Amino acid sequence: MRRIFFVLLLLPALFTMPAFAQVPGAQIDVKHYTFDIKLNDADNNIEGKATVSVRFLNGAEGFSLDLVKKNAEGKGMLVSAVTENGKPVKFTQDDEQLKINTRAYKGNTRDYTISYSGIPADGLIISTNAFGHRTFFGDNWPNRAHNWLPCVDNIADKATVDFIVTAPDHYQVVSNGLQTEEKQLDGKLKLTHWVEAVALPTKVMVIGVAEFAVDRPGDVNGIPVFTYVFPESKEVGFKSYAVAKNILPYFIKNVGPYSYEKLANVQSKTIFGGMENASAIFYFEESVKSPDIEELMAHEIAHQWFGDGASEKSFGHLWLSEGFATYMTNLYLENKYGADTLKTRLIGQRKKVLDFEKGRLTPVVDTAVKTKFMQLLNANSYEKGGWVLHMLRRKLGDDVFWKGVRNYYSKYQGSNANTDDLRRVMEQTSGKDLKPFFTQWLRNAGHPNLAVSWKYNEKDGYITINVTQNQAYVYNLPLEVSVDGQLLTVPVKEKSTTARFRVKAKPADVKVDPNINLLASFEEKR
């Protein structure tokens, strides 16, 4: 997703305890969800019937699903009944979980149907848009789905999903996958059924329910691209959102096949700038008028590959989503607008990393954050993650880098990966040992702070360049220096490195990192 400034203000309300049902020892693997949700205009109560198809990974005396229970303020869900393959079973609810009593053996597959209702405390945002109209938008990242959906609210348990929404008939419903049914019901109600046949993590399962104007600006490789905007935004939104059809081909060509049945770009009430819900991306309301819509869309569309298709195994490896989306956006824009655009963006992103590290020194792979995942929406996950990919690209060269990216996506499309999984794919592709590179940039906090000085030896026609690492951790990195247009590379490995290069004349123009290829701060001395 893309952060927007007010995200931080909402944080305290959003933290919920995750249930790591898919970490070693998980009891169940969810294969499919059918969420039957009834919405109304009189109040914010929702009525749900969720059928969860489960395979037991181990023998179990009961198991849990994540679901926020109705609290003292009256928000949350109350379960009225649970059935197992159609027969009633006993259950209990605590603040965050629904515990189902059953005896099961490893390999058993069963359907559990949970009847519940309540006012969502979060996760399904029921509000009013800028035009005064009532709207409903799912907003599940990182683990807010269980505020309104009984589920295994863990990124590592992917499942296919059906949403069957019954709502007043003036609404339209958009969701993941394909719409298979829309029918009028008595009482001015309408039923809309969407089916997602590709397994998703709960963080990107959504419905959007509002009055929409819908456009289809084009198809890409047989994938229909849709625009859903509020009717009042029709003119500006149909135009600005149409850029999606130019972005999609870039990622299909360079990374691999698109995973989903369609791509809908939806004006919404997400708390984020953009949220990469699989095949139904939600954007902030004002995005229709944003001059940065192309960049925002490139970021969210890149997530369809990185984050949705190939997902991180846990949020400690969030950079596999956000670092990739950040750098893939850079690559798309470089391809379209040229190398200077990439350089300008890298300079800005480097500054963000250096500024961020003044206040918080943690590695990019940040497994210390166990619950407050919103904290990970930071310059480490986005800009530093992106910068690491840039340096990896320069280290391997464009061909090998892209080949590695394609191999990684092809191996983990539809499943989950961590940082070591990416490293292994990149090592297999390049034939290089990348452990030192991954360790110094991703497992180590901070950045190189390099003091660079040079001297010209007129008698011998040499320039001597000295690089001193002024931070505690000693990096191994190539530092590029241009001397009157001649590009030199200083292999920096020690606390202090001195290298000599023959030059034609007394240097007049010396530039450190002229092509913006190193994430470091520089102190230049003559």
Q: Which residues bind Zn ion (CB under 5 A)?
A: 1, 322, 325
Closer to Zn ion by Cβ: residue 68 or 325? 325
Closer to Zn ion by Cβ: residue 27 or 416? 416
Collect all residues with Cβ–Cβ distance below 8 Å to 222 and sequence separation of at least 6: none
Closer to Zn ion by Cβ: residue 96 or 383? 383
- Minimum separation from the CB atom of position 273 to Zn ion (A): 9
Closer to Zn ion by Cβ: residue 96 or 294? 294
Q: Closest Cα to residue 391, out of 437, 439, 345, 444?
A: 437
Q: CA–CA separation, 272 vs 431, rounded Å?
A: 39
- Minimum separation from the CB atom of position 319 to Zn ion (A): 11
Closer to Zn ion by Cβ: residue 1 or 19? 1
Helix (H, G, I), strand (E, B) or coil at 365: coil
Q: CA–CA separation, 248 vs 302, rounded Å?
A: 8
- Minimum separation from the CB atom of position 2 to Zn ion (A): 5
Q: CA–CA separation, 91 vs 98, rounded Å?
A: 7
Helix (H, G, I), strand (E, B) or coil at 126: strand
Q: CA–CA separation, 319 vs 88, rounded Å?
A: 43
- Minimum separation from the CB atom of position 202 to Zn ion (A): 17
Closer to Zn ion by Cβ: residue 1 or 14? 1
Q: CA–CA separation, 137 vs 206, rounded Å?
A: 7
The amino acid at 361: L
Q: Where are the beta strands (DSSP E) in 257-296?
A: 263-267, 274-275, 280-283
Closer to Zn ion by Cβ: residue 121 or 318? 318
Closer to Zn ion by Cβ: residue 193 or 303? 303
Strand 274-275 and strand 280-283: pairing?
A: antiparallel
**What is the maximum alpha-carbon separation in the chain?**
95
- Minimum separation from the CB atom of position 57 to Zn ion (A): 31
Look up tokens 């109705």; give the residue.
70
- Minimum separation from the CB atom of position 324 to Zn ion (A): 9
- Minimum separation from the CB atom of position 248 to Zn ion (A): 17
Structure tokens at 397: 């060269």
Per DSSP, 279 falls in state T
- Minimum separation from the CB atom of position 20 to Zn ion (A): 22
